[in-house]
Amino acid sequence: MCGIVGYLGQKAVVPVLVEGLKRLEYRGYDSAGIAVVNDGRLHVRRASGKLRNLEEALRHNPCEGSYGIGHTRWATHGRPTEENAHPHRDCRGEIVVVHNGIVENYLSLKKTLIAEGHTFVTETDTEVIAHLVEKHLNGSLEQAVRNALAQITGIYAVVILSTKDPHKIVAARIGPPIVVGLGEGEFFVASDIPAILAHTRDVVFLGDSEMAILTSAGVQITDFQGNAVPNKPQRITWDPIMAEKGGFKHFMLKEIHEQPRAVRDTTLGRISRDTGKVLLEEMKISEEEFRKVEHIRIVACGTSWHAALTGKFMIESLARLPVEVDYGSEYRYRDPVVPPHTLAVVVTQSGETADTLAAQRELKEKGARNVAICNVVGSMVTREADGVLYTHAGPEIGVAATKSFTTQLTCLYLLALYLAEARQTLTQEQVRNYIEDLTRIPQKIESIFGKIEYLEELSKHFFRSSNFLYLGRGIHYPVALEGALKLKEISYIHAEGYPSGEMKHGPNALIDETLPVVVIATSNINNPKSIQLYEKTLSNIKEVKARDGIVISLVTPFNKEAIEASDYYIEVPPTNDFLLPILESVPLQLLSYYIAIRRGCDVDQPRNLAKSVTVE
Ligand code: AGP
């Protein structure tokens, strides 16, 4: 977590840094700071709390400079105070460092540095980097940084400058991302693209164990030994407007509304309606290899894990392949067995979740080829993948995943169809019909927006509740999990997702007249199995009602019995079983949003969270 930014060019540096930090606040928002150099002197401003506090501090105590660095923090070591806010300095105040990651051996380094006469003023692990660079600085800054980093263990993205080697910014990374922006006579570094998108679309993604040296003459990229690394600038197609709120009150609401466009963009170019084929062009894995796959392992965290669980239902049913789904954070700790002909699927919005990346590496080490389903071009997970299915959701700024989830479901559906074709478990005609269903989804999501007033109204009844249950069966169970996660992360209401059939094994004891129970009771009228499942869910609704619980059901229009048995119901348009989860997710996102708004919560930046979890 944490967002870092740096700028060297002709513009006024402070607004560039502050605007950049605004775009990175999703990565952490418990304190922020900048350091700029003016006439050879370093000026540092920091504040605890959100970025507006730093802006306030800058209004009271302005500063100017010709180059500088900035940081927005998600605390790992040391409380979120002004003192612990980045940038951190060396003893003489000539070197400043911003850091995203964890210095694992900071305690022993700190002890040694103190014994050598260095004075520490913060509780952070980052401060050791400033003192280490100070210790090694007797020539170029980049060499001092190399020597300092050689002593550090852990993961980090760091950006450093020093008045002793002026007009230079050095950035380096192992783990968390750094993107370098190339403008006309101006250069940028940042944790993520939106921070620099207003200035340039030409970027270089710094690789692991690489370093960027920015001067007014240009950008040099080296490895940690100082050898030049060829860099391939990439052109980003995202529009800066895509990263703005576009008239919506919150990024989350805007991103919920973007889902028809996002699902359409994720589908386009990957399907042929004429031939009834799914085309996955970004693959280094041949069709032959896909045909030989015997096992699928999917790894992911959080919302992406819920998408992965949904994908299991899609792939097992459509392509008849056994699928195991694991949490990235658990996978490598159980010495997993990876049989030959295993295809790994790595699902992640950011492409930089540390646990997911570690699971991907474990799978690679054990011989599995891997496909990433990811939203961020050039991110770490995509670099380590043998093929990428990009979710063309566009930048997702709200901490709560919305459009990334529904586009992940879209990619998993496409992958399931692709595998089904390769393995001939579906006929061409069947694949064509499934494709046809997918092309109708954006329109169907639009129609759900017609229920916004009702959902807003519904939130009035429930925003004071202290607990919620979400129930689902089969492919709808992961949607129940996701509905519960959305509610808890943005409204701070305790919510549980549960498989409906498991209620009688314990959780029924929770039900009383105060408990809202959201039941996913949709079905596909053309599929007898789906109707069977629905009938079982109907019994669950009745069981909740018999114990005085409050039922809010999610139904397809023909599920009259569920409508009658429920206290409230939300209709979603019909579609096939594998696409229903996309449609079900949208009203659940909206319900959570409006409940959270009524409770006065900060939906875009919920407490204690950050968008990208780059630490274990
Ligand atoms: C969901 O709303 C959260 N933001 C979180 O669970 C997220 O899905 C998780 O941290 C995984 O992130 P990733 O998709 O970027 O790997």
Q: Is 34 in the pocket of ligand 1 (CB under 6 A)?
A: no
Of ligand 1's listed atoms, the one at least distance from the Cα of 401 is: 2
Q: Which of 192, 255, 303 to mutate to test the pocket of ligand 1 (most atoms within 8 A of CB)?
A: 303
**Does residue 29 register a pLDDT over 90?**
no
Q: What integer pLDDT is reported at residue 247 of this predicted model?
A: 75
The pLDDT > 70 percentage for the chain reads 99
Confidence of residue 1 (pLDDT cuts 50, 70, 90): low
Q: Which of 301, 409, 490, 492 to mutate to test the pocket of ligand 1 (most atoms within 8 A of CB)?
A: 301
Q: Which candidate in 135, 164, 312, 611 is catalytic?
A: 611
Per-residue pLDDT, averaged over 107-117, amounts to 96
Per-residue pLDDT, averaged over 570-588, amounts to 98
Per-residue pLDDT, averaged over 485-511, amounts to 93
Winning range, highest mean pLDDT, from 101-105, 335-339, 604-608 = 335-339
Cα 116 to chain center, whole Å?
41
Q: Is 255 in the pocket of ligand 1 (CB under 6 A)?
A: no
Convert 400-444 into a string of H (helix), E (strand) and C (coil). CCCHHHHHHHHHHHHHHHHHHHHHCCCCHHHHHHHHHHHHCHHHH
Q: Which of 192, 353, 407, 482 to mutate to test the pocket of ligand 1 (most atoms within 8 A of CB)?
A: 353
pLDDT tens per residue, range 499-526: 999 988 988 889 999 999 999 999 999 9
Q: Is 372 in the pocket of ligand 1 (CB under 6 A)?
A: no
Tell me, in angstroms, the distance from the centre of ligand 1 to residue 560's CA: 35
Confidence of residue 379 (pLDDT cuts 50, 70, 90): confident
Tell me, in angstroms, the distance from the centre of ligand 1 to residue 616's CA: 13
Q: End-to-end alpha-carbon separation of the chain, Å? A: 10
**Does residue 614 register a pLDDT over 80?**
no
Q: What integer pLDDT is reported at residue 343 of this predicted model?
A: 97
Of ligand 1's listed atoms, the one at least distance from the Cα of 301 is: 11
pLDDT tens per residue, range 249-284: 999 999 999 999 999 999 988 988 777 789 887 788
Burial of 372 (0-12, 13-18, 19+ CB in 10 A): buried
Tell me, in angstroms, the distance from the centre of ligand 1 to residue 612's CA: 7
Residue 374 is a catalytic residue: no
Of ligand 1's listed atoms, the one at least distance from the Cα of 381 is: 16
The sign of the dihedral angle between the CA atoms of 570, 574, 576, 582 is: negative
Tell me, in angstroms, the distance from the centre of ligand 1 to residue 305's CA: 8
Listed in sequence order, the residues at least 6 apart from 250 whose beta carbon sits closer than 8 Å to its beta carbon are 398, 593, 603, 604
Confidence of residue 598 (pLDDT cuts 50, 70, 90): very high
User: What residue owns the CA closest to ligand 1's atom 9?
Assistant: 302
Q: What integer pLDDT is reported at residue 281 of this predicted model?
A: 75
Confidence of residue 310 (pLDDT cuts 50, 70, 90): very high
Q: Which of 350, 354, 593, 600 is nearest to 489 (CA)?
A: 593
Q: What integer pLDDT is reported at residue 374 of this predicted model?
A: 95
Does the pTM exceed 0.85? Answer: no
Tell me, in angstroms, the distance from the centre of ligand 1 to residue 303's CA: 5
Range with lowest mean pLDDT among 4-18, 99-113, 275-289:
275-289
User: What residue owns the CA closest to ligand 1's atom 4?
Assistant: 400
- What is the average pLDDT score of the chain? 93
Residue 63 is a catalytic residue: no
Q: What integer pLDDT is reported at residue 243 of this predicted model?
A: 65
Q: What integer pLDDT is reported at residue 75 of this predicted model?
A: 74
Q: Is 307 in the pocket of ligand 1 (CB under 6 A)?
A: no
Confidence of residue 242 (pLDDT cuts 50, 70, 90): low
Of ligand 1's listed atoms, the one at least distance from the Cα of 400 is: 2
Tell me, in angstroms, the distance from the centre of ligand 1 to residue 489's CA: 11
Q: Which candidate in 2, 301, 411, 601 is catalytic?
A: 2
Tell me, in angstroms, the distance from the centre of ligand 1 to residue 301's CA: 6
Q: What is the rounded CA–CA span in Å between residue 106 and residue 48? A: 23
Residue 441 vs residue 238, higher pLDDT:
441
CB 388 within 8 A of CB 379: no
Q: What integer pLDDT is reported at residue 236 of this predicted model?
A: 83
CB 174 within 8 A of CB 208: yes
Burial of 609 (0-12, 13-18, 19+ CB in 10 A): middle
